[in-house]
């Protein structure tokens, strides 16, 4: 489910703009560090979960408005260079501010401990993460499938020019969707922080997994991000038990197998 949150914004932005954002993993990292910073303050962890995605989304909105939108019409090479530059700047800013050593974040007392069901033992915090991400999936599905904004986004994924001709400010919609997608990635980082901590290079790993999920599920597809995230997460979890050293490798094997059988991805457009 965390893989789904990491990748859904990347998939939606690509579907709307055909824009590949290589800085997406850095916004995930930023969400984890903001969660750490707020958790250490008087506000605590619960406020961190609320504020981290809002702060990341606001920063992403400014980045899109004043930097990224000027290269949308340029070849994809410019998209890659610019967003890689943004990712490196964010990574170095994190190292300057928080240092190169990772930070540990403890979940609140309410979410500590485990649930025991027979021989099955599961941490309460991970069950909480599943519940929150499931709720976010339902909210995003409703937003994209049941609201006027979602209709505009779906129409824009077919033709942004036609949407603009209908009198809709497409630049405002793009900024909003970009902020939403990166804000969700920031929430994923905040939720992941108590599980794996926060460290400066976690964005690179997150970006790689997000691309695997998006390609497996189908570029530009909400259902693809959900299905791909679940598939890749389950493959990695099972292989961690069967073959721990090859668990990370097997997610790429799973992606390759899907691409051989269905080149457009599980839910991609054929």
Q: Which residues pair with 258 in a beta bridge?
A: none
DSSP 207-266: HHHHHHHHHHH-TT-HHHHHHHHHHHHHHHHHHHHH-GGGHHHHHHHHHHHHHHH-TT-S
What pLDDT does 52 receive?
95
Question: Mean per-residue pLDDT for 95-107?
Answer: 92
pLDDT (tens digit, 9 = 90+) per residue, 213-244?
988 888 777 888 888 899 999 998 888 888 88
Three-class secondary structure of residue 140 per DSSP: helix
Contacts of 34 (CB under 8 A, 6+ apart): 48, 51, 52, 55, 56, 186, 190
Domain boundaries, the chain: 2-105+114-199
pLDDT (tens digit, 9 = 90+) per residue, 164-218?
787 888 888 888 888 998 999 999 999 999 998 999 999 998 988 998 998 888 8
pLDDT (tens digit, 9 = 90+) per residue, 62-76?
999 999 888 888 888
Q: What's the CA gap between 136 and 8, in Å, rounded?
A: 11
% of the chain exceeding 70 in pLDDT: 99
Three-class secondary structure of residue 68 per DSSP: helix
What pLDDT does 202 receive?
92
Helix 148-158 crosses helix 2-17 at what angle (to 10 degrees)? 60
What pLDDT does 270 receive?
55
Average predicted confidence (pLDDT) for the chain:
88
What pLDDT does 244 receive?
83
Q: Which residue has the tokens 């703009």?
A: 17
pLDDT reading at 269 higher than 70: no
Instruction: Tell me how far apart the terminal alpha carbons of the chain are, to the nearest angstrom.
Output: 25
Q: What is the pTM assigned to this prediction?
A: 0.91
pLDDT (tens digit, 9 = 90+) per residue, 133-156?
999 999 999 988 888 888 888 777
What pLDDT does 266 receive?
83
**In the chain, which residue ranges form alpha helices assigned H by DSSP?**
2-17, 24-40, 44-66, 76-98, 124-146, 148-158, 160-165, 170-196, 202-217, 222-242, 247-261
pLDDT (tens digit, 9 = 90+) per residue, 248-260?
888 988 899 988 9
pLDDT (tens digit, 9 = 90+) per residue, 11-60?
887 776 677 889 999 999 999 999 999 999 888 899 999 999 999 999 99
CB 202 within 8 A of CB 241: no
């Amino acid at each position: 489910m965390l893989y789904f949150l990491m990748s859904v914004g990347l998939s939606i932005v690509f579907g709307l703009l055909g824009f590949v954002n290589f800085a997406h993993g850095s916004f995930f990292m930023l969400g984890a560090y903001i969660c750490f910073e707020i958790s250490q303050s008087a506000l605590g962890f619960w406020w961190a979960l609320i504020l981290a995605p809002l702060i990341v989304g606001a920063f992403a909105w400014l980045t899109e408005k004043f930097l990224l939108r000027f290269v949308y019409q340029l070849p994809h090479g410019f998209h890659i260079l610019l967003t890689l530059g943004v990712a490196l700047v964010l990574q170095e800013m994190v190292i300057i501010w928080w240092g190169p050593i990772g930070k540990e974040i403890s979940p609140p007392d309410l979410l500590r401990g485990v649930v025991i069901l027979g021989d099955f033992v599961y941490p309460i915090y991970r069950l909480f993460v599943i519940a929150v991400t499931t709720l976010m999936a339902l909210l995003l599905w409703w937003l994209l499938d049941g609201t006027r904004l979602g209709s505009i986004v779906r129409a824009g994924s077919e033709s942004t020019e036609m949407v603009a001709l209908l009198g809709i400010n497409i630049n405002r919609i793009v900024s909003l969707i970009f902020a939403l997608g990166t804000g969700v990635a920031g929430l994923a980082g905040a939720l992941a922080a108590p599980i794996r901590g926060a460290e400066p290079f976690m964005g690179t790993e997150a970006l790689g997994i997000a691309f695997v999920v998006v390609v497996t599920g189908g570029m530009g597809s909400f259902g693809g991000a959900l299905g791909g995230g679940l598939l890749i997460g389950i493959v990695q979890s099972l292989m961690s038990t069967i073959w721990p050293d090859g668990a990370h490798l097997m997610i790429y094997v799973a992606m390759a197998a899907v691409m051989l059988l269905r080149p457009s991805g599980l839910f991609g457009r054929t």
